[in-house]
């Protein structure tokens, strides 16, 4: 690279190593090593494990568990619902990990961070949680008292919804 009178940038270096620079005068052939060096280190990303869990549950239910098929010791794992961090960071154990029951609807992903290098990696896949609405509630109507041998009383509902099945217990 030819000198410009200003600082020189040799571009992004993606191979780990210690880099030095030598200046060479093309006319005279004289050369000199530049002072110092620049070290480039390449840290590995956290290993990718698959996100597990999710499902659909009825409103008022307990939710679904979300976890990872594995983890690495020394890594921190953060659960996200969309782009929002959810819950506390979970430390890797070398085994599968759980983020516990999740009750909010959404698409959950996990990002791992190497605590020593700050390198991050998004884990594979996601877990989707859907909350299904409960059928509308109607009042139970009818009933009453009658004598043995009588015809009984009607029991019913004050309304109903198309597509919903009702069972008397």
The pTM of the full predicted model, rounded to 2 decimals, is 0.75
Strand segments, DSSP code E, in 4-163 are 17-19, 22-24, 31-33, 38-40, 51-53, 55-58, 64-68, 75-81, 84-91, 97-102, 106-114, 120-122, 127-132, 140-142, 155-157
pLDDT in tens, the chain (169 residues): 899 899 999 999 999 999 999 999 999 999 999 999 999 999 999 999 999 999 999 999 999 999 999 999 999 999 999 999 999 999 999 999 999 999 999 999 999 999 899 999 999 999 999 999 999 999 999 999 999 999 999 999 999 999 999 999 9
Using alpha carbons, list the distances in angstroms from residue 29 to 24, 25, 32, 156. 6, 5, 10, 104
């Amino acid at each position: 690279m030819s000198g410009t009178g200003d600082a020189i940038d040799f571009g992004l270096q993606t191979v780990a190593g210690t880099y030095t620079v030598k200046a060479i005068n093309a006319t005279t052939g004289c050369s000199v090593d530049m002072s110092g060096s620049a070290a480039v280190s390449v840290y590995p990303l956290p290993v990718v494990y698959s996100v597990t869990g999710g499902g659909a549950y009825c409103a008022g239910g307990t939710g679904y568990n979300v976890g990872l098929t594995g983890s690495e010791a020394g890594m921190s794992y953060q659960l996200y619902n969309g782009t929002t961090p959810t819950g506390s960071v979970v430390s890797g154990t070398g085994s599968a990990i759980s983020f516990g029951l999740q009750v909010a609807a959404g698409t959950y992903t996990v990002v791992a961070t190497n605590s020593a290098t700050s390198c991050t990696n998004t884990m594979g896949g996601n877990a989707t949680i859907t909350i299904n609405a409960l059928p509308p509630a109607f009042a139970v109507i009818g009933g009453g008292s009658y004598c043995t041998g009588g015809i009984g009383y009607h029991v019913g509902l004050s309304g109903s919804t198309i597509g919903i099945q009702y069972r008397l217990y």
